[in-house]
Structure 1
Amino acid sequence: MNKVDHAAWAIAPQDATGRWAMASLSLSMLMSSLGTSIANVALPTLAQALDASFQAVQWVVLAYLLAITSTIVGVGRLGDLMGRRRLLLAGITVFTLASALCSAAPDLGWLIAARGLQGVGAATMMALTLALVGEVVPKERTGRAMGLLGTLSAVGTALGPTLGGMLIAVGGWEAIFLIQLPLGVAALILAQHCPPADPRSAGGPSQPFDKTGMVLLALTLAAYALAMTLGRGRVGFANGVLLLAAVGGGGLFAWHEARAKAPLVSLAMFRQIALSGGFAMSALVTAVVMASLVVGPFYLASAFGLDAMRVGLVMSSGPLVAALSGLPAGRLVDRLGAQGMILAGLGAMALGAFTLPALSARFGLPGSVGALAVITAGYALFQAANNTAVMTCSRADQRGLVSGLVNLSRNLGLITGAAFMGAVFAFGAATPDITALTPQAAASGLTVAFAVAGGFVLAALLIAVLSHLATRRTQPLRAE
C-alpha cells in the first residue's frame, strides 16, 4: 500500500468504497499539481528538440496555466449540474489522453494545444476533488482530508522538477508526459468508487448552463493572466491593453450574471462573508507564498553566493515543510475548529514574513530557511482551515462552483504574486536587472518585498477577524 492509499485509509470512512474514493481524489490532486511543474525543467530541452526559441516554448507551461485559470469555475459549476463523479471521470480521461497527445507531439504548436487540453482536464480534477470531499469523508474529518489534498498538491509541485529532470535524462522530454498515463489509468479505476454527487446526474443537467457567462469569464481571466505573465509587474502597451480588456470583461460578466436566469456565479453568494472572505484571503496569502518562490532564488544567489543546485535544495525546504505539515494541520482543524486555525495560520505567516529579513541578516542562511519554514507551515494550516470553512458552509448543490472559485482565487494569487512581488523586489533593490544584484541590494529588495507581503497577510487577518465576528453574530439568529 503506497503513502497516498495509507493516508486516505486513515481519513476516509470505515467502508472500503469511501477509502478507495478518497484515494482517487488524492491521486487526482497529485496528478494535476504534478502537471503544473513537471514541464518547467524541460523547456531548454524542448527548445533544442523542437527548434524553437525559449520565449516560444514557455507557452508549453503558460497554456496549461491559462487553461486551468480560465475554465476551473465553469467546470466546477458544470459538475454541480451534471454530477460531479461523471465529470471527474471525464476530466481524468481528458487529462490522460492529452498526456498521450503531448508525448506524441511532432511540433511545438501540437504540444502547446495538447497542454491546453491537459489543463482543462487538470481544472476539472482540481475543482471536483474538493467538491467531492463532503460526499466521501465524514464532516468531522473534513480538515484532515483538506490537509491531505494540500499535502499532495505541495508534493506534486515540488516533485515535478526533480522527477522531470530524471525522466528527461532517461527517456527524453516525451517521458515527462508518458509517466502520467499509468497515473491517469489508476485514477480512473479508483474514481469508479466515488459516490454519485447528484442523483440527477443520470438525466443530465436540471438547469441550463450559463454558456455566455462561461465564455465571458474565461476570456476575462485569460486576459488578466496574460497581462500579469507577459508584463511581469510592469505595465507596457500590450499588457496594458490586456488589463483594460480584463477590467471591461469583468464588468460585462457582472452585468450579464445579474440579469441571467440561471447565472454561472450567483452574485448574491458573495454577500456571505465566510465565502467571499475565504476567497479574498486565499488570493492574498498565495501571493505571499509566491513572493518567497520568486524572490527567494535571486536573494539566495546574491546574498549567500549559492549556485543553482544549492538554491534549488534550499527552495525545496518550503514544499517539504508543506508536505509534512499538511496532515497535522488538518487534524488541528478537525479538533480545534476552522476559524481559530485560520487565525493561527495567518499569524504564523505574518510572523515569518516580517522577521525574514532580520533573521536572514542576523543568522544568515539558517535564519532564512527557518523563517520560510514558518511561513510555509502557517500557509499549510491556513489552507486546510480555509478550505474546510469555505466548503462546509457552501450549499450542497454549489460545491463544485465554490471549489472552482477557491482554486481560482489561489491561481490568481499565484499569478499576481509572481508579477507584483517580483516588481516590488526589483524596486526595493533599486535595479531593473535582478539577475545581477549586490548582496546589499538583495537585502534591501528582500526587506521591501516581505514588508509588502506581511501587509498582505495582515489584510487577510483583518478579513478573518471580521468574518469570525460576523459568523458569531449570525449563529444566535440561526439557533432561534
Structure 2
Amino acid sequence: MLKPLTQAGDEAVAPDGKTPPSTKWVLASLSLSMLLSSLGTSIANVGLPALAKVFAASFQEVQWIVLAYLLAITTLIVSVGRLGDLAGRRRLLLLGLLLFTLASVLCGVAPTLWLLIAARAAQGLGAAIMMALTMAFVGDAVPKNKTGSAMGLLGTMSAMGTALGPALGGTLIAGFGWRAIFLVNVPLGILTFLLAYRALPVDRQGSADRAGFDRVGTLLLGTSLAAYALAVTVGRGRFTGLNLVLLLAAVLAGGLFVVVEARVASPLIRLAAFRNAVLSSSLAMNALVSTVMMATLVVGPFYLSRALGLGEAQVGIVMSAGPIISALSGVPAGRGVDRWGAAVMTTAGLVVMATGLSALALLPGVLGVAGYVAAIALLTPGYQLFQAANNTAVMRDVAPERRGVVAGLLSLSRNLGLVSGASAMGAVFVLASGTSDIASAHPGAVASGMRFTFAAATLLIIVALAIAAGSRALAPRPALDAAREEA
C-alpha cells in the first residue's frame, strides 16, 4: 500500500541513498500530470480540420479551441503557483487534476463550438495548475542531488505528450470521431488523480503567508498577460489597430501590476526576487530558447512541404523526430545536470542548441531531409539539457513557501516565448521569403526564408549564452543562495 510522504526534500531519502519507493510513486504521479497537460495541447491541433467541418466554422473560429487552452495557461500559471504556496500544493494539484478531467468530459460532449471553447479554457486552468505545481513538488519529494534527474524526467514526459498528441489524435478521430480526442483524457485523468491522492506528500502546516492572496495583483497580471497573448495571436500575422490597443492594455496593466506589487503586504511576485541574477537570467534565457524552438514548429512544416516536396504524411513523420529525440534525451540530460552541475550544463545545452540551429540553416539545403533530421537530432538534446539545467538552477534551492510561484514564473516565461515565437519567428520567415503567401511560395523563396530564420534563431541563442555568462559573473555562489531564499 502506498503511504503519502510527510516530509519534503532531503527527508525523502532512503538510508542507502537511493530514491525510496514512495518518492518513485510521487514522480510517477507528477510525470503523468505533465504528460496530460502537454497532451492536452498537441492532441487538439490535429482535430481542427474535422472540427471546422462538424461545426461549419472558419479556421479562425476553430483556432480558438487551441488558443483558449493556451491563454488560460499563460494568464493564470503564476497565480495558481502562488495559490499553491498558500493553500497547499497537494490539495490544489488534486483540484487541478479533477478540473482537467471534468473539463475533458465537457469538451467531449459539447454540442456547440463556443461551449467547447469554454470547456477548453477550463481545461487550460486545470493544466496551468498541473504545470506549475509539478515542478514545485520536486523540491518537496526529491533530494537535492537528484533534482536534475527529476527535472529531466518531467521534460521527457512533456516531450512524450507533445509527440504522442498528433498520432494519437489522428488515430482516435479516424476510429471514433472528434469527441474521442478529449474523452481519452478522462481515464488518464482519473488514474493520475488516484495515484496523486495516494502518493503526494501531505501539505505543510503553517508555512503559508498569513497576509493572504494578492487578488488585485493577480487580476492585473492576468489582464496584462491575456492582452499580450491576444495581441500577438489575433490578426493572422497582420498588425492592426486591435493589436496596438491590446499591446497598450498589456503595458498599462503591467505597469499597474508593478506599482501594486511594490505596496501590498503579500505580493503575488516579490519584485526584489528579480534582483536574483540566477532567477532573472533563467527566465530571460527560458523565453529566448522557447521562442527559438517555436521556429521549428512554425517554419519546419512549410519548408518540408514547399521546399522539399514532402507529402502530409511524410511531413508528420519527419516532424515527429524532434519530440521523439527530446523524449529519449530528457532523463540522460537530467543525470548529466546532477553529475556536472546546472551552470556548466546550461552553457553546454545552449552551445549544442546554437550548433544545431546553425546546422538547420545550412544542412537541409545540402542534404535535404537527412540534413534536416540530423540538425534536429543535434538541436533537441541541447534543448533538453538546457531545460533540465535551467529548471534545476532555479528550483533546487527556492524556499518551500515560494516554490509554486517560482515554478509558475518558469512556466510563464516558456509560454510567453512560445506565444511570441509563433508570431515573431513566423513574421521573420515570411519577411525573409519575400512573399505574403507562403502556402504558394516558390521553393527557393521558402528555402531562403528557412536559412535566414534559423540564422536569426542562432543569434538569439548567442544572446542567451551572453546572459548565462553575465549571470555567473554577477552572482557568486554565496550571494546566489541568499537571493534564492529571498525569492
Provide TM-score, normalisation by structure 1. 0.94
Matched, 1:352 2:356: yes
SS at match of 2:46: helix
SS at match of 1:259: coil
**1:476 CA displacement:** 10
Task: Describe how 1:226-305 pairs up with structure 2 within 5 A.
Answer: 226-305=230-309
Matched residues in 2 for 1:178 and 1:468: separation?
47
Paired residue type of 1:377 = P
**1:206 CA displacement:** 2.6
Matched, 1:137 2:138: no
**1:471 CA displacement:** 3.1
**C-alpha spacing 1:54/1:361, structure 2 compared with 1 (3 Å):** closer
Question: Contact 1:67 / 1:120 at 8 angstroms: preserved in 2?
Answer: yes
Spell out, residue by residue over 1:322-363, the C-alpha distance to the aligned partner (whole angstroms, 9 max, x if none). 001001100100000000000000001111112322212222
Spell out, residue by residue over 1:438-466, the C-alpha distance to the aligned partner (whole angstroms, 9 max, x if none). 22211211121112111110111011111
Matched residues in 1 for 2:372 and 2:178: separation?
34
> In the alignment, what sits opposite 2:219?
215
Aligned with residue 198 of structure 1, among 198, 204, 210: 204
Matched, 1:418 2:438: no
Unmatched tracts of structure 2, length 5 or more: 1-13, 483-487
SS at match of 1:305: coil
Matched, 1:66 2:71: yes
> In the alignment, what sits opposite 1:39?
44
Which stretch has the larger CA shift, 40-49 or 214-223? 40-49
SS at match of 1:173: coil
Spell out, residue by residue over 1:145-174, the C-alpha distance to the aligned partner (whole angstroms, 9 max, x if none). 100100110110111111111111222111
**C-alpha spacing 1:72/1:477, structure 2 compared with 1 (3 Å):** closer
> In the alignment, what sits opposite 1:469?
473
**C-alpha spacing 1:23/1:430, structure 2 compared with 1 (3 Å):** same
Question: Contact 1:273 / 1:467 at 8 angstroms: preserved in 2?
Answer: yes
> In the alignment, what sits opposite 2:4?
none
Question: Contact 1:232 / 1:423 at 8 angstroms: preserved in 2?
Answer: no
**C-alpha spacing 1:445/1:387, structure 2 compared with 1 (3 Å):** same
Give RMSD over aligned pairs.
Answer: 1.8
> In the alignment, what sits opposite 2:185?
180
Matched residues in 2 for 1:420 and 1:194: separation?
40
SS at match of 2:440: coil
Question: Contact 2:276 / 2:480 at 8 angstroms: preserved in 1?
Answer: no
Aligned with residue 435 of structure 1, among 436, 439, 445: 439
**1:98 CA displacement:** 0.6
Which stretch has the larger CA shift, 303-312 or 349-358? 349-358
> In the alignment, what sits opposite 2:104?
99
Spell out, residue by residue over 1:182-205, the C-alpha distance to the aligned partner (whole angstroms, 9 max, x if none). 11111111112111242238xx86
Spell out, residue by residue over 1:97-126, the C-alpha distance to the aligned partner (whole angstroms, 9 max, x if none). 111111111111211111100000000000
Residues paired across the two proteins, number? 467
Matched residues in 2 for 1:102 and 1:205: separation?
36
> In the alignment, what sits opposite 2:485?
none
Which stretch has the larger CA shift, 22-31 or 393-402? 393-402
SS at match of 2:212: coil
Matched residues in 2 for 1:390 and 1:135: separation?
15
Matched residues in 1 for 2:86 and 2:407: separation?
14
Question: Contact 1:135 / 1:197 at 8 angstroms: preserved in 2?
Answer: no
Matched residues in 2 for 1:344 and 1:395: separation?
27
Unmatched tracts of structure 1, length 5 or more: 1-9
Question: Contact 1:82 / 1:200 at 8 angstroms: preserved in 2?
Answer: no
Paired residue type of 2:382 = G
Matched residues in 2 for 1:215 and 1:282: separation?
24
Matched residues in 1 for 2:481 and 2:113: separation?
59
> In the alignment, what sits opposite 2:156?
151
Matched, 1:120 2:125: yes
**C-alpha spacing 1:142/1:430, structure 2 compared with 1 (3 Å):** same
SS at match of 1:132: helix
Matched residues in 2 for 1:370 and 1:285: separation?
19
> In the alignment, what sits opposite 2:376?
372
Question: Contact 1:233 / 1:420 at 8 angstroms: preserved in 2?
Answer: no
Provide TM-score, normalisation by structure 2. 0.93
Question: Contact 2:228 / 2:246 at 8 angstroms: preserved in 1?
Answer: yes
